[in-house]
Structure 1
Amino acid sequence: MKLSAHCDCYADNSYFLFNKKNQIISFRIHSTEKLGYFLDKNPVIGEPFVEFISQKYVKSFSDLVAECFEGKSFNIENRLKVQDKEDVLMQVVLTPVFTGPDQEFVACTIIDSNRKTNQMKLLDEYSHLASHDLRAPITNILSLSSMLNYPEMDSLDTSKIRELLTDINFQAEKLDDIIKMLNRLINKGEATKEFAGEATVIDSKHIMLVDDDSLTNKLHHMIITKHNKNKRVVQFDRPLLALNYLKENHPDLILLDLNMPEMDGWAFLRALEERNIKIDVVIISSTIDPAERSRAQSFKSVKDFLTKPLTYDKIKHLVDN
């Protein structure tokens, strides 16, 4: 095993590995921005740590390393005052590493505690939203939908059923807003890019739906054909069957889901490229992850990225002449 493997669990931080002569034999610097307050210069393999660690820390650091070679370990957190800037919170972990007789080393890991603290705050906030705000509309939807099974429902007129469905829809919209909020929270600083697709698809008379959810396919089929009776719409809940269909058929447009168990949307897009099948594709997905939208733009066949639920207004420019 490589000695650096002992520090791989700290891959998102900086680490140094010293031998008995206090010489550095391995290191990784994750970020020099805040580590600069701890180091006087960049380290070099083979030189003693006293050459690059800030002089005001050399004495105490040397004493701790010496104790580590005797089998002790240390976890020290220190707040550094920086003029005109936010205090830097650094955590230094010193651990003895014994790989064999006469093979003794000390691993020093520098952890950015500010980043760690911010991550914990983010997780706490995310957990609160998920366990409290998210649960409320879900339980309301479950309660409202369960009413559809009551025997009394048979005697309700259309207006009462519409009222019930309106209540369910309102709770679903609240749920959707909370999920979007959670996504924004976890993707702070990463803006959702507008899809840089090509021009509107023209004269899409033959449309293929590929989604493992058969209910989604039926709803999309209904939306498309309700106002476009001249459209030929074929639907597949198994991507492999859709690929077989493409051997002898050439639809004008494919509406493709991403999250499918047998073959996900990304694998389906790669299969189109490998088979040199040139058909315009529009992603229809429930995801609101900005990274997924950016990834979709790497496929030439993908012309747009729409977020579920699909509405007639969303697809009018895709299926109309």
Structure 2
Amino acid sequence: MKLNAHCDCYDDNSYFLFDKKNQITFFKIHSIEKIGYLLDKSPVVGESFVEFISQKYVKSFDGLVARCFQGKSFNIEKRLKIQDKDDVLLQIVLTPVFAAPDQQYVSCTIIESNRKTSQMKLLDEYSHLASHDLRAPITNILSLSSLLNYSEMESFDTGKVRELLKDINFQAEKLDDIIKMLNRLINKDDAPDDFTVETTKTDSKHIMLVDDDPLTNKLHHMIITKYNKNKRVVQFDSPVLALEYLDDNRPDLILLDLNMPEMDGWAFLRRLEELHMKIDVVIISSTIDPAERVRAQSFKAVKDFLTKPLTYDKIKHLVDS
């Protein structure tokens, strides 16, 4: 019998299953360090919980288990005072499990509430940032961009338009900073090693842009060709059409987006490997998920991972003649 089929619990909890004789029929201890303060010794299948639960808790525990066999359930929290250490807060869930009239059990799940409380605090902080700090620059951007639709804009001189765009850009940077902060909250310890920039610079005269957003492709095309008139830059908003282009052409460099509906960047990279095409690839993505950077490093073709917005400073070591 799998206890987790009967309990609403996390995978990393400790749990026990008792029969009518209060004997253990099954148990799993996730962290003896945490629940060890509740026990006098390590449990053994077949023995009564009276044998291993700390004597100071046996009487109350025995009463709760007896009531569970009568159909009751209990969800209690127990704070254990530990000398010279922080208190340990445990959540203990006792639930009757009636597999059959002659097969009655009580499940006991022990959750480290300190961990759960920490997660809830993280979610609260994340929720506050998303609903308050994040909304502020978004609403400002929407308000500023709506001004572009006013008929009075036709009489604005270039300076006023530049000033308006500067304000929009400032709010967008604030928004980007908040999104990065949110990402750091949930990926505190997952920062991957960065890509090592190769010392040998290749002359990329033929560059392919693959991004399902045509506007992004146009902007990247403008950035590259503004400083390098001699570059041949081809754009594809369909990765499937980009692969067809590779049947008869070999660009020196591919700037590749990841999040595309028809075929994502990962599938595109796998296809390059299947075709044994040795073309340098630089991922240009809006993602700041560290797991994506780690995954990108598993592809030999990927030489760098740059986050949008793309600037010439970010790619000049790749495309400069």
**Band of TM-score, shorter chain:** over 0.9
1:301-312 paired onto structure 2 within 5 Å: 301-312=301-312
Offset of 1:103 from its aligned partner? Answer: 1.5
Measured after TM superposition, the shift of residue 123 of structure 1 is 1.1
Question: Which residue of structure 2 aligns with residue 144 of structure 1?
Answer: 144
1:285 aligns with 2:285: yes
Compared with structure 1, are the counterparts of its residues 273 and 84 closer, same or farther at alpha carbon in structure 2 (3 Å cutoff)?
A: farther
Report 1:220-259 matches (<5 A). Answer: 220-259=220-259
SS state at 2:37 partner: coil
Q: Please give the alpha-carbon distance, in whole angstroms, between the structure 1 residues aligned to 2:56 and 2:264.
A: 56
> Alpha carbons of 1:267 and 1:28: their partners in 2 closer, same or farther (altered >3 Å)?
farther
- CA 1:31–1:251: 2 relative to 1, 3 Å: farther
Alpha-carbon distance, 1:205 to partner? 1.3
Which amino acid is the alignment partner of residue 90 of structure 1?
Answer: L
User: Deviations 1:194-230 (Å, cap 9, x if unpaired)?
Assistant: 2246445511111111111111111111101111111
1:99 aligns with 2:99: yes
Structure 1 runs, 4 residues or longer, greater than 6 Å off: none
1:167-193 Cα distance to aligned partner (Å, 9 max, x none): 111111111111111111222233353
Aligned CA distance change for structure 1 residues 272 and 36 (closer, same or farther; 3 Å): farther
Are the counterparts in 2 of residues 7 and 15 from structure 1 also a CA contact under 8 Å? no
Q: What is the rounded CA distance, in whole Å, between the counterparts of 1:229 and 1:196 in structure 2? A: 28
TM-score normalised to structure 1 length: 0.93
Q: Give the CA deviation at 1:8.
A: 6.1
User: 1:318 & 1:85 partners in 2: Cα distance?
Assistant: 54
SS for the counterpart of 2:188 is: coil
Q: Structure 1 residues 221, 40: CA separation in 2 closer, same or farther (over 3 Å shift)?
A: farther
2:70 alignment partner in structure 1: 70
Aligned counterparts of 2:200 and 2:237: Cα–Cα separation in 1: 26
CA drift of 1:51 comes to: 3.7
For structure 2, which runs of at least 5 residues remain unmatched after alignment? none
Percent of aligned positions that are identical: 81
* CA-CA distance at 1:139 after TM superposition: 0.8
Number of equivalences = 321
Give, in angstroms, the shift of residue 4 of structure 1: 3.6
**Deviation for aligned residue 1:96:** 0.4
| RMSD (Å), alpha carbons | 1.9
Task: Quickly say closer, same or farther: Cα 1:10–1:167, change in 2 above 3 A.
Answer: same
Q: Report the Cα distance in structure 2 between the residues aligned to 1:278 and 1:24, rounded to whole angstroms.
A: 60
Contact 1:96 1:107 in 2 (8 A): yes
Equivalent residues of 1:196, 1:297 under 8 A apart: no
- Contact kept, 8 Å, 2:9 with 2:109, in 1: the verdict is no
Structure 2 match to 1:167: 167
- In structure 2, the residue matched to 1:38 is 38
Tell me if structure 2 keeps the 8 A contact 1:26–1:45. Answer: yes
309-318 or 224-233, larger mean C-alpha shift:
224-233
TM-score with structure 2 setting the length: 0.93
Partner of 2:314: 314
Gaps of 5+ in 1: none
**1:237-262 residue CA offsets vs partner (Å, 9 max, x unmatched):** 12222222222222111111111222
- 1:193–1:290 contact (8 Å) kept in structure 2: no
Distance 1:293 1:72, change over 3 A: same
Of stretches 133-142 and 267-276 in structure 1, the one that deviates more from structure 2 is 267-276
Give the secondary-structure state (helix, strand or coil) at the position aligned to 1:99: strand
